[in-house]
Each structure stands twice: as structure tokens, then as C-alpha cells.
Structure 1
Amino acid sequence: MEKVSFKEKRIILITNEIGYNLLRKIRTSRSKKPIIVVINSCGGDLGSAYKIAQYLQNRSATAIVTGVCNSATIPILLACSKRYCLPTATIFFHSLKMNLNLKIIDFLDKTSTDSQIERALEIHNTYVNLIASQVPLEPEDITQFMREEIVLKPSIAIELGFLDARIDSFSY
């Protein structure tokens, strides 16, 4: 069983909704210590999540999913070079229409404009392509997960390449 030590590490806790404040806090830290990202979040703003993922991608970060890794937290998880979870952790996919900001939340509404629909499709395609670039799944597979609101338990998430291993515990 893999062990993860928090000793001499910079800890980034993602336990609330992802947004600009979290992004700003992560970017302004001057710490040069190796990064451990602890994830237990229902998601949030995709734009902020993408920027956090870009920040982590070249920093050899380690992620630990301690509870839920939903929606916008998935790209953050996949940006980490090592990805672990506790036995009860889950990764949850859902349709982005449920999580778009109020400006485009009604993109499937009868009154939606072509530009709203195009923007929603662009957001969707960016999301699924980003995920598919990190795991051995096709964008169509990710889209299907979202339609069916799939919840991945650790064994399946490891098999599909979202996680490297399950850990039973960790210590500070």
C-alpha cells in the first residue's frame, strides 16, 4: 500500500467550491516546497479550475482525494503527477449545464440564442477533451459519463487512469 507523507510539504486544501479566491491564494504563495493537494470538493468555477490545473501541472504535485472529486475538481486532480484516494473517495461526473454560471445556465432553454448554445458546447468540449487527454478514454466516453452522472469508486477510477492508487490513511 502506498504511503503519502505531508512532512515538509505545501498543503493545498480544496474543500469548498472552486473560485477565484482559491486561485488567487494558490498563485500568491511563495512556497517552494513540494505540493500536496487534498481534494474533497463538489466543484465550482471551471475557469478557475483550469487555471489551478495549469499552475499544478508543471510542479509535480501529488493529489489525495479524501471524499468527493466532482466536476471542476477533476481537471485539478488530473493535473497532478501522482494521484491517490482514500477508500471512500468518489469521482463524480455530471452535465455541465447544471454547473454553468447564471449567464449561460439556460443554454438548453427554448429562448437560448445560437451564441449561448455555441458557448455551452465550447465549454463542454474543452472539458471533455482536457479529461480525455489525461486518461485512456475518448471524449465520447467522458460525455457519456456526464450524461449518466457516473460516480467512480476507487477501483474503477484506478482502472480508468484517474487515480494511481488507493491509500488507507495519511499522516501529517
Structure 2
Amino acid sequence: MSFLVLACVLIAVDGDTLRCDQELIRLIGIDAPELPGHCRDGRDCAPGDPLESKRALEVLARGTASIDRQGRDIYGRTLARVQVGGVDLSCAQLAGGHAIYRADWDQFGLVGTDCGIAKPPQAASAPPSARRARPVSAPKAAVTGWSYRNCAEARRAGAAPLRRGEPGYGAHMDGDGDGIACEPFRR
């Protein structure tokens, strides 16, 4: 992966989108709560406090940024991995509970793998450049200090079932106390 150091001030638009001058940058692999009025009827929006999610991204975005552009979405936003001060912003938003992981928005599963959320993809499925170098992610301790709010959120993120000690696990989701949360059936 090649990273480009940006010469702009990053401004958080919401919990998963940044502005760099005229460019809108959408962090891949995550979905943050929508700002008031943005979650239309029938849309499955990420749970949580959208203003807190945006504030967290504002704090994380301070400093020298690196961007790994991966394409554009249907709205014309740049889809990218962004690091500030060596911290992957997608991983940090997940670790802080300010966003949920979306495997369907993580083409090669690298965000899930680097953030400790998902199993690594098969080596043949990732592009050669992605296999050689991985972006620096949030510290492991930070990633394991959060849990999904409920099993529905964990399932939407593609993380269920979760085992005790894995990122995203919470005892409140393990009804039978066997160390496996959000299992398809209870034993």
C-alpha cells in the first residue's frame, strides 16, 4: 500500500467522513451513527451518538495525516484508509465504540484484520501490495477495550459469534455464560 501525506487540515464531517480542502474522504470498513435527520426511514443506520462519534474523529484527525486511496463511492467521496500520527482512524473509531465494522464495505477484509475485528482474508484474495505492507493500526490494548452494544450490532458487523477475550465481546451478550456471545443457538 502506498500512503500519501496530506498537506491540509482534516475536518470531521461526521464519524466516518473527513474533508481535506474540497475532497470528501470516507473511511472504509466502518459505519458511524448518522447525524440527526440523515437516517431515512427504511435505512439500517449504525447505532450510537452521532455527535460523540464526530467529536471523537475530530480529535483523532489532529496532526499529520496519511491517506491510502482505494476508490470512490457512488456519492463521489474518496474511499480510503487514513492514519494520523501512526493511528488508523477506522481502527480507532471502532476501538472507541464510535463506529461499527462493515465487512461488506471492506473489500479485502484488511480493516477487519488490522483492527482485530475479523479473521484474516485468504492470501489469494488480497492484492499483492496489500499482502506486503499493512498500515499501522490502533494499539491492541485500545482495540480490546470495547464491546458491541448487542448481538444485532455484532451480527450486522459480521463479527458474531464472539468469544471471550476477542475484540467486541461483552458478557452482556453471553446469556448462558459459556464464553461465546451471539451464538446462533444456545447450548
Q: Which structure shows the higher helix fraction?
A: 1
TM-score by length of 1: 0.31
TM-score by length of 2: 0.30
